[in-house]
């Protein structure tokens, strides 16, 4: 005789609702019956009506998918009405095989949320979200400026102006002055070569030889068009930098005690042409992170720090309980798959975000440094597993260091302090002097010093 068994699950979230987000309508389920499902539009008045209907149904918590950009306005409206909102990744709400409809989807989301089987995605605070908007828009303009630069190089080659051979950066000081003069109608090679910057390796004669072109009018017209695009993108990038600076300073002003914080200057941190043009970024970042000096970490540039500020922010680190949770979010930690006590796979999961890209770029820069704690770690991994694996491992190590510094207010103290070029020269000079003193057995009086002076070897 067969026994009938029932498998029950405890209800975790009472008065829960599920929403299937769409581009033209949202389906909302407050229960598992067909009468518990209702469709709403996407206009502002429809979103308000949706929230009011949920309040009438005594709903306190809502789950929805992060579908494209359609969820953002609805999420803001739900938070404004005081609902507890769980924004779940779409891969965690996939239904079982069968006919797929919007009604079934919203009921399935409501069931999963009621049983507590959905986890929410990371969402930054309002200030970080605003900063993220400016920084991502800035990144878009940098991509467009890069595209314009490549097209300028193409038209220069078609004109037989081989500026790329004699100049390291076509959009550098020498290159831009030459291109601007060409667009003004000056096609004399010797006259164009006069724009050579004193740091340029090639002489004026070599630059003049590379600027003997065919002077076709159609290519000159295209070059002028791309130069205008490049100038336009640079103006937009500068405007984004100004808004980013204002947002950071406004956030610091909200807490007056941060204004008194000050860290040491770091002239060794070089900036390239795509670095944010924000004055005193070192001090601003130190105050923004409430006295945590992320610039002390070798390999982190101005762009890297700005990505950390805009993608997660100082408050976002607190949402991750441990460093392992934090490294798992940008997909920097290995995804161990274990069966029968054996590790079947430990690959890093696929997927990427801007924070992961920034940390990997910083890790790649660390791989080019010498005699540092992190560069030694990079080279050890690269020797065993290759450079690609070393970049991933160093990026994860960077994420752990940053999480500990921000959450625990720690100072970066590597086991081996990093010496910059001027410090290395000073240390080397001191070692050579000590060797000579030992070699010739010199005394203080032999060097003209006071007898009481003690020179330790």
Q: Supply 286's token pair.
A: 């130190």
Tens digit of pLDDT at every position of the chain (457 positions): 455 666 567 788 889 999 999 989 999 999 988 889 999 999 999 999 999 999 999 999 999 988 788 899 999 999 999 999 999 988 778 766 666 888 888 999 999 999 988 888 888 888 999 999 999 999 999 999 999 999 999 999 999 999 988 988 888 889 999 999 999 999 999 999 999 988 888 899 999 999 988 889 999 999 999 999 999 999 999 999 999 999 999 999 988 888 888 988 887 777 888 888 888 899 999 999 999 999 999 889 999 999 999 999 999 999 999 999 999 999 998 888 888 878 778 788 777 789 999 999 999 999 998 888 899 899 999 999 999 999 999 999 999 999 999 999 999 988 766 565 666 677 777 788 888 888 777 777 776 766 554 544 4
Which DSSP state fits 2? P
Predicted pLDDT of residue 414: 83
Predicted pLDDT of residue 242: 94
The Cα 92–Cα 101 span in angstroms is 17
* Beta strand 342-345 pairing with 337-339: antiparallel
Predicted pLDDT of residue 66: 85
Predicted pLDDT of residue 393: 94
Predicted pLDDT of residue 455: 44
Q: Annotate 410-433 with b (16+ C-beta within 10 A) or e (fewer).
A: eebeeeeebeeeeeeeeeeeeeee
The Cα 96–Cα 104 span in angstroms is 11
Predicted pLDDT of residue 97: 64
Predicted pLDDT of residue 419: 60
In 3-state terms, what secondary structure has residue 121?
coil
Q: What is the DSSP string of 144-213?
A: HHHHHHHHHHHHHHHTT--HHHH-S-TTSHHHHHHHHHHHTT---HHHHHTT--TT-SS-HHHHHHHT--
The Cα 307–Cα 304 span in angstroms is 5
Predicted pLDDT of residue 5: 62
Residue 109 φ then ψ, to 5°: -65, -40
Q: Annotate 379-388 with b (16+ C-beta within 10 A) or e (fewer).
A: bebbeeeeee
């Amino acid at each position: 005789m067969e026994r009938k068994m029932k498998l029950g699950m405890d209800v975790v979230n009472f008065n829960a609702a599920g929403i299937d987000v769409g581009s033209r309508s949202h389906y909302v389920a407050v229960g598992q019956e067909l009468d518990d499902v209702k469709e709403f539009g996407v206009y502002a008045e429809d979103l308000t009506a949706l929230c009011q209907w949920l309040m009438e149904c005594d709903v306190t918590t809502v789950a929805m998918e992060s579908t494209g950009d359609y969820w953002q306005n609805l999420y803001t409206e739900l938070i404004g009405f005081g609902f507890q909102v769980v924004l779940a990744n779409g891969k965690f709400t996939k239904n079982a095989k069968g006919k797929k409809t919007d009604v079934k989807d919203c009921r399935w989301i409501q069931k999963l949320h009621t049983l507590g089987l959905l986890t929410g995605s990371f969402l930054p605070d309002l200030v970080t979200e605003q900063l993220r908007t400016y920084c991502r828009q800035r990144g878009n303009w940098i991509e467009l400026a890069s595209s314009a630069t490549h097209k300028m190089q193409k038209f220069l080659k078609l004109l037989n102006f081989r500026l790329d051979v004699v100049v390291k950066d076509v959009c550098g000081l020498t290159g831009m002055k030459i291109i601007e003069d060409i667009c003004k109608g000056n096609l004399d090679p010797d006259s164009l070569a006069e724009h050579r910057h004193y740091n340029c390796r090639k002489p004026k004669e070599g630059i003049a030889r590379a600027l003997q072109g065919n002077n076709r009018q159609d290519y000159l017209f295209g070059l002028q068009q791309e130069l205008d695009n490049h100038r336009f993108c640079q103006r937009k990038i500068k405007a984004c930098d100004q808004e980013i600076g204002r947002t950071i300073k406004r956030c610091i002003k909200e807490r007056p005690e941060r204004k008194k914080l000050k860290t040491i200057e770091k002239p060794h941190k070089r900036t390239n042409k795509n670095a944010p043009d924000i004055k005193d970024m070192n001090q601003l970042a130190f105050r923004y992170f409430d006295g945590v000096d992320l610039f002390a970490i070798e390999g982190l540039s101005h762009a890297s720090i700005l990505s950390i500020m805009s993608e997660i922010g100082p408050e976002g680190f607190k949402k991750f309980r441990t460093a392992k949770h934090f490294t798992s979010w940008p997909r920097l930690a290995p995804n161990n798959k274990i069966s029968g006590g054996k590790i079947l796979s430990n690959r890093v999961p696929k997927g990427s975000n801007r924070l992961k890209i920034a940390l990997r770029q910083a890790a790649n820069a660390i791989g080019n440094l010498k005699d540092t704690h992190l560069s030694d770690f990079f080279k050890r991994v690269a020797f065993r597993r290759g450079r690609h694996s070393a970049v991933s491992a160093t990026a994860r190590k960077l994420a752990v260091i940053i999480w500990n510094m921000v959450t625990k207010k720690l100072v970066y103290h590597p086991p081996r302090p990093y010496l910059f070029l001027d410090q290395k020269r000073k240390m080397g000079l001191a070692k050579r002097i000590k060797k000579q003193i030992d070699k010739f057995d010199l005394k203080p009086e032999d060097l003209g010093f006071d007898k009481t002076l003690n020179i330790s070897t």
